[in-house]
Structures are given as C-alpha cells and as structure tokens.
A = this chain, B = another copy of it.
C-alpha cells in the first residue's frame, strides 16, 4: 500500500502549497482521492500514469477538493484515453462537469460514470475481488464523506513441500488457498494450517477530510492501519476549528487513539503557521505514531 500526497494544504493553492489530492495504490488499483486545482500537473510531476487512474473519489464540493477535476477529465480526453472512468462524489458533481462539457461542446471519448452520493450513513460504494471502498460520513459545513479503503482477506499461501508430502491432488490447491481442510489421495483429512502459510494481512486506509471532531466515525474506522485525518488548526485556534467545522491536531489524534489505528497521518494544514511540525508535536501528546503529510511525499505503508 502506497500513498502519494499531491497536495495537503487547505483553502487556496499557492506556489508552494497544493490543495488536497492524493493517490492511494492498493491491490493494484490507483485510487485518486480529491482533486484540487493543479492536480493534473502534480500527477505528471509524480510520473503517475494517467491511464491507471480509473476511480476518483471526491469528499465534498469545496473548491480546494475538486477544482482540478474538470481539467483532469478534459486532459484524459485530449490524451485519447479509452479506459472507463468512475467518479464518486456528492450529488451535483455530475451537473458541474457535464455543464462545462456541454458549453465547450467537447465530450469524453471514454466512458465516464458518475456515482453521486447522498447517504448520511456509511455505505459500500466500490467492490471487486480484492478491495472494497466505504464512505465515512463526516461533519463539515456542507455534505462531506471520507473514504475507507479495505483490502479483502488475502488467500493463504501453499507450503508446496508439505502439500506434496501430504499427497494432495492439485485440484484441491484452490480450496487450500481459501482456507479449507481437504482430503488427500488416500482419503485422509488434511488440516489446512499443516500445509499452508497465512496470507498477507489485508491493509486498510481511511481518508477523513474535511471534518470537525466527530466520534461517530470511530466504529467505522476501528483498527484501520492508516488514518489520514485533517488537522487544519493548532490548539490555539480551536475556536476557528469549531466555527469553520474543521479539526485540530489534538482532535485528529483523539480520533486515532479511540479508533486504535496503527498510524495517523495529519494534513489539510492552514498556511498561517510557519512550520507544520507543531501539528506533530501537539498530536503526539495524545497518540504516538504520527506522520506529517507534505506535498510531494510518498508513504510506503
């Protein structure tokens, strides 16, 4: 699982501060999460192949989270993309994109699917045989979802020597990988764990931005490996967090602690502070394993 931070600052793009966008590589997918203005240029800087992005998740319709979307969709067209593209985001996102296409008289030459979200309860919005994606209803000034990416249980690995020694027919290998006990050629039941190794532990990632402190999300993200939680403000500006429905670093850490995640990544910083290290210091008072998102940083998780 790899997370590339294209942008992690709040409000407006600046020469050295990109607004929110990140790419999550998990189970062979490249999921684009949020798409602030300039995201397509950052994708190029990161040398991310545009064609590998097939699913884009938009948390909410504030500009710093999606003003780069329509440009990216247009660029895909100019690059003669053929692969399907799926957009998941709040109701209204389809109208925004299609209105601009209509007025430009330029439609996509690939299939573009919109999955508009309206539910205030967590829901499964994408699933294949390897991974599933659920919404995390957040509490911000407008309708907002975080996204939980969960690998499915990985298959067990065959201990080839043991399997052969146990005289098991090759036709049963698939069942063994799925965790079943099987009978060998002599009709004897072979315990699965005597001939297989555990599969890799499935990974999970939760993206929660933008939101004020919201304990209701804890059961949804419980035991997640990595939590990205917004921390727009430091404690001295807790009143601003309250007023603008954002979170402080300490609040992000409190959520991480309650949800017993392994790692907390902070981001969505206000640009008013002279160093983002303050965010880490404050969060570490509550939760130990804190990382700082930074534009251009890639986390191998």
Contacts and interface: CB of A to CB of B under 8 A. Distances in A.
Contacts of A44: 14-15
Contacts of A90: 103
Contacts of A68: 37
A12 B63 contact: no
A13 B13 CA distance: 15
Interface in A139-155: 141-142
Nearest to A36: B71
B103 A45 contact: no
A121 interface: no
Interface residues of A, number: 34
B15 A104 contact: no
Interface string A26-49: 000000000001101100110000
Contact of A40 (B12, B62, B95, B99): B12
A167 interface: no
A198 interface: no
A142 B105 contact: yes
A71 B67 contact: yes
A7 to B, nearest CB: 12
A71 B75 contact: no
Contacts of A62: 104, 106
Interface in A102-131: 103-106
A53 interface: no
A61 interface: yes
Contact of A12 (B45, B75, B106): B75
A298 interface: no
A78 interface: yes
A100 interface: yes
24 contacts: A11-B75, A12-B40, A12-B71, A12-B79, A13-B40, A13-B71, A14-B41, A14-B44, A15-B41, A15-B45, A37-B38, A37-B68, A38-B38, A61-B104, A62-B106, A63-B100, A63-B104, A67-B67, A67-B71, A90-B103, A92-B99, A92-B103, A96-B103, A105-B141
6 A-B pairs closest in CB distance:
A92-B103, A12-B75, A61-B103, A63-B74, A37-B71, A67-B71
